[in-house]
Amino acid sequence: MFFAGDLNIKSSAEAAWILLTATCSHLFKDPLNLPGLWNNNTIYKSIHTQSTRTSANPGCCGGSTGGMDDRFDFILVNNPVMTGDNHLTYIPNSYETIGNDGQHFNLALNEAPANSVVPANVAQSLFNMSDHLPVSLKIKIQESPVGLTKNYKKEMAIRYWISDGNNGQILNIKAEESGMFQLTLIDAVGKIILEKVIKVNDLTAVQKISLSDFNPGIYSLKINKGERVIKDKLLISP
């Protein structure tokens, strides 16, 4: 679970922060684990997100001034994301305030010294875009076989999982009953990108379907045999 946005919180002692991290029914964690008074505090200058400006910007979006001295923008995650208990894991040290080099405390982002983490044109674009800097983090998706045996109506049983091949990922199909199966793969906008009839005579055989031609993403998988239907989600990784 993720909770992210411009929270306008100045310290970890505020009631809103305590609610999110200590007392609400779904507790969140700060991936940086840096509690304290963030406002106008040089200790936290490398994680401040606002303001990119010391004076009013005549360009886009208006916004506040005052220079980089507040940590208002956060990405919080729940404990399973931190520990990897539910197939998603926060990658340590990947949390980033994009464009903050720690050298612009109470300065505008495009002032001297030159920004050391992004090119000058990017620093200028961040200045123009908003009085806030974006924050990001990286998540590892822990893949596991999808579609353990599914039994729908009259005990149609079939297993399917993804594995890595020499030229990309492979969808493996192993039926536990003989006959003809219709396989359909549908993308996120509802377009059918694969239709295939699988004939099963040998119950020990594994049918292999290359996924190398498909873009990474989440797809809908449908397998029919007569009136019986299995539907599931399929994750194709980069």
So what's the pLDDT on residue 58? 63
For the chain of 238 residues, list the mean pLDDT of each consecutive stretch of 10: 94 95 90 95 96 78 84 94 83 94 94 92 91 94 53 60 85 86 88 90 85 89 86 84
Same domain for 161 and 51: no
Same domain for 2 and 115: yes
Same domain for 183 and 82: no
So what's the pLDDT on residue 225? 86
Question: What φ, ψ does residue 175 adopt, rounded to 5°?
Answer: -85, 150
Same domain for 131 and 179: no
> How many domains, in total, are found in the chain?
2
Same domain for 158 and 133: no
So what's the pLDDT on residue 237? 83
So what's the pLDDT on residue 154? 44
The CATH number linked to 202 is 2.60.40.3080
Q: What angle do CA 168, 169, 171 make, to 5 degrees?
A: 145
Same domain for 118 and 22: yes
Same domain for 56 and 79: yes
**Spatial distance between the Cα atoms of 135 and 53, rounded to a whole number of angstroms:** 17
So what's the pLDDT on residue 147? 45
Q: 189-226 burial by CB neighbour count: b if 16+ within 10 A, else e?
A: eeeeebeeebebeeeeeebebebeebeeeebebebbbe
Six-digit token string for 117: 């983490």
Q: Are strands 228-236 and 139-141 parallel, antiparallel or unpaired?
A: unpaired
Task: Quote the domain boundaries for residue 52.
Answer: 1-142
DSSP-assigned letter for residue 29 = B
**Spatial distance between the Cα atoms of 64 and 52, rounded to a whole number of angstroms:** 9
Same domain for 103 and 207: no
Q: Which of 108, 142, 176 is the last residue of a domain?
A: 142
Same domain for 159 and 121: no
Same domain for 182 and 122: no
